[in-house]
Chains A and B, each alone.
Chain A
Amino acid sequence: MSSGTSPSPALARQTVPALGVGLLYNPSLPEYLRTRPETFDYVEVIPEMFWTDRGHGTEPRFVELEGWVAMLDDIATRCPVVAHNIGLSLGSAAGFDDDYPAHIEEWNRRYRFAWHSDHLSFVRVQTSEGHDHNAALAVPVPYDREVLDLVAERIVAVQRVVSTPFLLENSVSFVDVPEQELTEPEFLNAVAQRTGCSLLLDVHNVYVNARNHGFDALAFVGALDLDYVGEIHIAGGSELGGMYTDSHAGPCPEPVWELLEWVVPRAPNLGGITFEFHDSYYPRLKEDGIAAELARARAAWNRRPAG
């Protein structure tokens, strides 16, 4: 690791179970999950889709959506479930939500998540009046040592509360932030080594950034410590205003497959490859399209290193 960050005692690396190939749940999938169980090994869910968060100080704060939760209960009886959170906001400069990990742990006890994850970004910022302002999208943090300290501290706090391994996902950024102290791979490696968390390597996110900012995606993944990669996300995207976005628009583009096929044999602790698509693109994929993406992901999964 060449980040030059201040020394800090590294925690033991959390290991994730080897599950195989999975799908990120969306509302178009219940029929597919019932009829094509042979094509996937686990289902990943965004827990925030299953509840309404009424914010700090409300009682009850998290109100579950009954129909959705009934669906999740049913899925959890049939296959392993993995949680992919969007609400920890690990990069927020102020106002880390201490109640949030406790609620994730409550759900973990119910569904026995094989692991859970969130993003290297922030979605909330505290206003000068002390309110939370939702950014409405995941905003990348600058890769500075100060932010590394902040994110690592929060991940350790999450790990203390949530009793299943935590994975940190690399971000999409549509802008180049100058004068950063670390590269994103250096930052991710340092967080993983410091906290023992695994990485959720979204190879489509890497492709998005490489395409928009003109860098070599393979060099990016090659700079990561792949021993820490516990999960890989694959997805498709689309153009918006001259930029390529991570819109999860149907099938994965060929460069994403190439990245996946390069990484998997070099990631000895990989637990799963998850295909993500937005439900509005179901008509483009249909059942056979989803099955084809999962089959190709499984072929890559089968190339993971022995042992």
Chain B
Amino acid sequence: MTLLAYQRALIDLISSPAFCLAVRADPEALSGYDLSSRERRRLMAVVAQPGMSTSCTLYRLNRITPIARYLPLTTFLLGDALVSEAERFWTEGLPVDLQFGPETERFGRFLDRRVADGELSDPYLAEIVRLELAVNRVRVAGPGEPLLETVFFRHDPLPLLDALADGRRPDPPPLEGRYALVVDARDGELALREPG
């Protein structure tokens, strides 16, 4: 059991610079883990080494990179808020797979909820998140799963996406109304089109 506890504690340290600081300040911060005395000494030793900071940084880089890759327009809209939102999200859940597909999906839903709760006020964020999640879903759809999804917008999506593709926010703002785009991967190539 103690090897498992050691690995859990080590991962918790790598994933949380704040926990590293807490353990450095007070070894009792490890008291929740069923560690042998040698494992405790090992963790106390490694947490004081500069290499632990490197490990923490790599952990954060490795987790934020797939978000930036799979949600690029969302990442652009978040701007400097990306890191703080990602850190807030990481305190809520744990990644479960190596490709981070489900984690990206969960991060998107987390942002959607943050918008709905009024914590994030970007007018385009929710619809862009939903679009990028739909794109990712149809791109990796398994047998029998939908290759086509409809995403609804509160802003005209064409000028919005044109602007974001150019790396800028739309100016003037797109018209507000009820719009939709179909994300279609049925022909093997991803296509966005208006319904109908």
A residues contacting B by CB (< 8 A) are 48, 51-55, 60, 63, 65-66, 86-87, 92-94, 122-123, 125-128, 131-137, 139, 142, 146-147, 150, 173-179, 212, 240-243, 245
Given contacts A52-B99, A134-B94, contact A174 B7 (CB under 8 A): no
Output the nearest chain A residue to B185 by Cβ-Cβ distance: A66
Q: Is B27 among interface residues, defined by CB-CB distance under 8 A? A: no
Output the nearest chain A residue to B99 by Cβ-Cβ distance: A52
B7 touches A93 (CB 8 A): yes
Add 16 more A-B contacts to A127-B8, A136-B59, A176-B49 (CB < 8 A): A48-B99, A52-B140, A53-B98, A55-B102, A63-B141, A65-B140, A94-B4, A127-B94, A134-B95, A136-B58, A139-B7, A178-B45, A179-B42, A241-B54, A242-B54, A245-B58
Q: Is B10 among interface residues, defined by CB-CB distance under 8 A? A: yes
Interchain nearest-CB distance for B48 vs A (Å): 9
B96 touches A134 (CB 8 A): yes
A51, A137, A177, A212: the one within 8 Å of B58 (CB): A137
Residues of B within 8 A of A86 (CB): 98
B97 touches A53 (CB 8 A): yes
Interchain nearest-CB distance for B137 vs A (Å): 11
Residues 9-61 (chain B) with a chain A CB within 8 angstroms: 10-11, 14-15, 38, 41-42, 45-46, 49-55, 57-59
B42 touches A125 (CB 8 A): no
A173, A174, A178: the one within 8 Å of B41 (CB): A178
Interchain nearest-CB distance for A138 vs B (Å): 10
Residues of A within 8 A of B175 (CB): none
Residues of A within 8 A of B53 (CB): 241
CA distance A241 to B102 in the complex (A): 30
Residues of A within 8 A of B118 (CB): none
Given contacts A52-B140, A243-B51, contact A134 B98 (CB under 8 A): yes
Output the nearest chain B residue to A144 by Cβ-Cβ distance: B3
B residues contacting A by CB (< 8 A) are 3-4, 6-8, 10-11, 14-15, 38, 41-42, 45-46, 49-55, 57-59, 62-63, 94-102, 139-143, 188
A133 touches B11 (CB 8 A): yes
Output the nearest chain B residue to A244 by Cβ-Cβ distance: B54
Residues of B within 8 A of A177 (CB): 42, 45-46
CA distance A212 to B49 in the complex (A): 11
CA distance A4 to B139 in the complex (A): 52
CA distance A245 to B15 in the complex (A): 18
Interchain nearest-CB distance for B171 vs A (Å): 31
A87, A92, A146, A175: the one within 8 Å of B46 (CB): A175
Interchain nearest-CB distance for A212 vs B (Å): 7
CA distance A136 to B101 in the complex (A): 13
Given contacts A127-B8, A135-B14, contact A179 B54 (CB under 8 A): no
B99 touches A147 (CB 8 A): no
Residues of A within 8 A of B6 (CB): 93, 142
CA distance A66 to B142 in the complex (A): 10
Interchain nearest-CB distance for A238 vs B (Å): 12
B3 touches A52 (CB 8 A): no
CA distance A87 to B97 in the complex (A): 9
CA distance A66 to B145 in the complex (A): 14
A179 touches B8 (CB 8 A): no
A176 touches B142 (CB 8 A): no
Output the nearest chain A residue to B90 by Cβ-Cβ distance: A136
